């Protein structure tokens, strides 16, 4: 497997999804400072326009798109390439959250999460890969999650999508290394973004538990999004295969490696409040019981 040289930000175009806020917004600012032209994609037209307006000195295209429309991604990629034939960096950052246990989530809701968090990054990578391969030294970033490292109760849809993205990214990295394209998988911990505010709640979850779950989730989001973006870009430059951001990703990753079937029980013992905030309350209002044992 060949050793890729450091990624060069100048002279190429970066495509960033989910660029209207949070890490995506700050990744865009960081790329602009490093001299990359930008294609910024988000479904929130107003916020996206505001982000684009703050950037100067490089070319910026802002494209409004809903990544849950998988069939429409062919057209989106065609729009990107029509104006930017030399794409050298793809940052699949856009993602959505859905709270609720598996038996509270409808099939259409599960598919919505999988479409945006997994199928859209795969489709965009497939569509833009030919132009990435035409520019040796290009790079792909797929933003997974802490919940692509561990699978807590109440996160079946989200964890499924993020574990799938992790597996796709790791295999793709090995496939592309000798072809001059790098791949980085990012696992953020509790990053201060709007994901808790904008998260959907499964149809089977009551309003009261939805509010409680969002409040608990928001308490975990403490790491600044701008610092997270810098960590991502530093990882891209150094061609790191994996970037873990914040202790809330690093510590659970270690526990999952040491206790692959019982890490939730260990987390409950080490930090009961953190483990409790990671999962929604039971529909009947009772405290959620940890069903993971050391023998499972």
Q: How many CB atoms lie within 10 A of CB 240?
A: 17
For the chain, the residue count is 296
Element (H, E) at 185: strand 181-188
Query: Could you tell me the CA-to-CA distances from 111 to 126, 134, 221 in Å, in that order?
Result: 20, 33, 25
DSSP state of 181: E
Question: What are residue 223's phi and psi, to 5 degrees?
Answer: -80, 130
Crossing angle of helices 120-133 and 156-176, rounded to 10°? 20
CA dihedral over 145, 255, 196, 163, signed as positive or negative: positive
- Residue 37: CB atoms within 10 A of its CB come to 20
DSSP string computed for 9-45: -TTSEEEEESTTSHHHHHHHHHHHHTT-EEEEEES-H
Residues with a catalytic annotation lie at: 158
């Amino acid at each position: 497997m060949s050793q890729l040289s450091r990624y060069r930000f100048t002279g190429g175009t970066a495509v960033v999804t989910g660029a209207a806020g949070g890490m995506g917004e700050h990744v865009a600012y960081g790329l602009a400072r490093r001299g990359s032209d930008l294609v910024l994609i988000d479904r929130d037209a107003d916020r996206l326009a505001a982000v684009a307006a703050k950037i100067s000195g490089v070319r910026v295209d802002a494209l409004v798109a809903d990544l849950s429309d998988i069939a429409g991604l062919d057209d989106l990629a065609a729009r990107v390439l029509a104006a930017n034939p030399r794409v050298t960096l793809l940052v699949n950052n856009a993602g959505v959250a859905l709270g609720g246990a598996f038996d509270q989530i409808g099939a259409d809701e599960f598919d919505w999460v999988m479409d945006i968090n997994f199928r859209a990054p795969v489709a965009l990578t497939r569509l833009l890969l030919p132009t990435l391969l035409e520019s040796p030294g290009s790079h792909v970033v797929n933003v997974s999650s802490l919940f692509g490292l561990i699978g807590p109760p109440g996160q079946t849809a989200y964890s499924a999508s993020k574990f799938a993205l992790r597996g796709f990214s790791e295999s793709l990295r090995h496939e592309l290394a000798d072809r001059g394209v790098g791949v980085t998988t990012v696992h953020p911990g509790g990053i201060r973004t709007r994901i808790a505010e904008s998260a959907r709640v499964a149809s089977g979850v009551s309003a009261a538990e939805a509010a409680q779950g969002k409040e608990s989730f928001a308490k975990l989001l403490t790491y600044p999004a701008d610092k997270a973006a810098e960590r991502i870009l530093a990882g891209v430059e150094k061609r790191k295969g994996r970037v873990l951001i914040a202790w809330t990703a690093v510590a659970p990753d270690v526990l999952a490696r040491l206790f692959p079937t019982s890490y939730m029980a260990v987390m409950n013992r080490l930090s009961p409040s953190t483990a409790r905030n990671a999962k929604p309350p039971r529909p009947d209002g009772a405290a959620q019981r940890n069903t993971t044992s050391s023998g499972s």
